[in-house]
Amino acid sequence: MNIIKKIVLAVLTIVALALITALFLTKNYAVEREITIDQPKDSVFNYIKYVKNQDNFSVWNRKDPKMIKTFSGTDGTVGFVYSWNSQDKNVGVGEQEIKKILEGERIDFELRFKVPFESTDNAYIITKAISPNQTKVKWGFNGKMPYPMNLMLAFMNMDKILGKDLQDGLNNLKVVLEKK
């Protein structure tokens, strides 16, 4: 019986240390990637501001061709909502809403994940003219993990996990737009 008490005490100590550690860890993460596209800024922005066009370049939109999609509002305007429902655990259930548009410069989104976990995060796409026929596109993602879930950030490299998908999406966007 003494061994069982020691094991229980050791497990409780480890859990307590993990919870205390989580108090001091960051709860926020940010990931950003960029690419140069050989197209004028207006052409690039006028393509990316329509959320439905993400089907042509976003890695996440391509993961489950069977997912159910619904739309609310006018695409390319503040308040437009794109919802998805997928049986694929890598896609899940959620929605994306256009929250702000700085015409020709930036579009901000709110992502509301429902399944497999609940979370509300922010994303953005920024366009900047490098020359009359070249545009730098930045795609970023900002998230927050509440305590004690933020302990996972110590073991997960969000930049690596999300960054690859953002970069792959930007690479796809470049191919799509440079074919025009």
- Lowest average pLDDT, out of 5-9, 33-37, 79-83, 93-97, goes to 5-9
Instruction: Tell me 146's DSSP state.
Output: -
Domain ranges of the chain: 27-178
- The CATH code belonging to domain 27-178 is 3.30.530.20
Distance CA 124, CA 109 (A): 6
Q: What is the DSSP letter of 45?
A: H
| 152 has pLDDT over 80 | no
| CB-count exposure of residue 26 (10 Å: 0-12, 13-18, 19+) | exposed
Burial (CB count within 10 angstroms: exposed 0-12, middle 13-18, buried 19+), residue 96: buried
More confident residue, 150 or 169: 169
- The sign of the CA dihedral 165, 53, 144, 119 is negative
Residue type, 108: D
Predicted TM-score (pTM) of this structure: 0.85
Q: Is residue 127's pLDDT more than 80?
A: yes
Q: Report whether pLDDT(180) > 90.
A: no
pLDDT of residue 95: 97
